[in-house]
Amino acid sequence: MANELDELTGPVNVTGRDVNVIERQLPIQVGFGSVIFEVFLWACGILPGLIFLFMKIGAKTFFRQLQQKIQADASQIDNYLDQRVQVLQNVAALVSKAVELDKDVMKAVAALRGGHGPLGDAQRNAYASMIDTSFGRLFPQVEAYPELRAHHAITEAMRQNQALQREITAARDLYNDSIRLWNFSVYAWPTKMIVAARLGYTTRIPFSASTEIKAKARSVFF
């Protein structure tokens, strides 16, 4: 039998293919078969029914604990984003003292000064995109003036920004790992899937990069 996927002779998309995260939370649902399964366990005796009952209690505890971990992972991302905003404000203040900054740059920085409240997944991505955009507008201003590039405080701020970007990437990986575990678990039939359906849980959406960031990733850097 030939390979179903043959990398040598199979169809190839020579133009490549981009991928995107689907912004949709799927509700977890179980059918009548799950009800029959539970009734069957109790019909087999009290012991099987009690065992499955305790398994469902354990599954409920698992989901509640995992939700707390997801919250903690998301909070860590928010912390790093806030630090990047502080770095951005410091750089903007230093640069504005030396040169007249573009009005759009100052507007972008001012929009971030108020901070933010609790962020959802979509809001977090939008907030991160605003920070990236602000840095993208500020850095060309710095690059245009050699004396600014030599400024120690600005150089240190640039280094901090790069370090924070790496920390954000690592934090997003941890967040996505927790989301993957959640999405895998809510479909683990019978125990976890039945519990997830009864509690009205849905799948969760992992981190997704903005269109602007994806476009920058395709740019020529050197």
Write the CA distances from 3 to 7, 11, 13, integer angstroms: 9, 13, 18
Statement: residue 98 has pLDDT above 70: no
State the pLDDT confidence band at 99, using cuts at 50, 70 and 90: low
Contacts of residue 81, defined as CB under 8 A and 6 or more positions apart, other chains included, come to 124, 127, 128, 131, 168
Is residue 65 a contact partner of residue 178, using CB atoms and an 8 Å limit? no
7 — phi, psi (to 5°)? -70, -10
Checking if the pLDDT of 119 tops 90, the result is no
Return the pLDDT at 77: 92
Interval 132-167: pLDDT, tens: 777 777 777 666 666 666 577 778 888 898 899 899
- Mean pLDDT over each residue of the chain, to the nearest integer: 84
* Max avg pLDDT among 73-77, 205-209, 216-220: 73-77
The Cα–Cα gap between 164 and 210 comes to: 18
Alpha carbon 77 to chain centroid distance? 8
Read off the pTM. 0.82
Token pair 């790496």 in the structure block, residue? 166
Give the model's pLDDT for residue 13. Answer: 87
Per-residue confidence band for 117, with pLDDT thresholds at 50, 70 and 90: low
Tokens read off for 3? 């390979």
Query: What is the pLDDT, as a whole number, of residue 116?
Result: 61
Query: Do residues 172 and 164 lie in contact, with contact meaning Cβ atoms separated by under 8 Å?
Result: no
Indicate if the pLDDT at residue 107 is higher than 70: no
